[in-house]
Amino acid sequence: MADLSALTPGTWNVDAAHSRVGFTVRHLMVSKVRGSFTTFSGAVTVGEDKLASSVVAEVQMASIATGDDNRDNHLRTGDFFDVAAHPTMTFRSTGITADGGDYVLAGELTIKGITKPVTFELEFEGVSPDPWGGTRAGFSAETEISRKEWGLEYNAVLETGGVVISDKVKLELDIQVVKAG
């Protein structure tokens, strides 16, 4: 477990240029498609008691990038994210607990206007000064969700009995934060 004592109380803002909000989903039951959202923001408010800290984040859904423009455009439609009506995905933490050498980050994830509880397996990567006089910290986190719970039900059945897109989606976060003034 990285030493949380170097994580000083206050606000730490997400540095989107050095962070990633990604996902992985099975396609045709034989491979995985990976993608990310390129526009997002967030902040970690660190308390004196590090486990009493909180996280808020917002992702711009139109920024989805899977490496295929046609697929990305389809994902922005009402078949999936309905970006015109629901331009953001949000996360607000509800608690952090120690779990062996790592942590569990619990919170509420909102996609397409539907809010559900989620828990992320969270790793604290450490704290470091940066060359510009600031202080940065790193975190990585993963969870698996059922996309149908958020109304993302579009699919097609294959002749073999499988489906084009799996229900399970792995969310993967690599986040760098910088301590606010």
Tally of CB atoms within 10 A around 60: 15
pLDDT digits (tens, 9 = 90+) for 36-92: 999 999 999 999 999 999 999 999 999 999 999 998 998 899 888 999 999 999 999
Domains of the chain and any CATH numbers? 4-179 (2.40.128.110)
pLDDT the model gives residue 158:
46
Banded model confidence at residue 154, pLDDT cuts 50, 70, 90: low
Q: What is the mean pLDDT of residues 96-110?
A: 93
- What is the SS3 string spanning the chain? CCCHHHCCCEEEEECHHHCEEEEEEEECCCEEEEEEECCEEEEEEECCCHHHCEEEEEEEHHHEECCCHHHHHHHCCCCCCCCCCCCEEEEEEEEEEEECCEEEEEEEEEECCEEEEEEEEEEEEEEEECCCCCEEEEEEEEEEEEHHHHCCCCCCECCCCCECEEEEEEEEEEEEEEECC
What is the model's pTM?
0.90
pLDDT digits (tens, 9 = 90+) for 1-29: 566 788 999 999 999 999 999 998 876 66
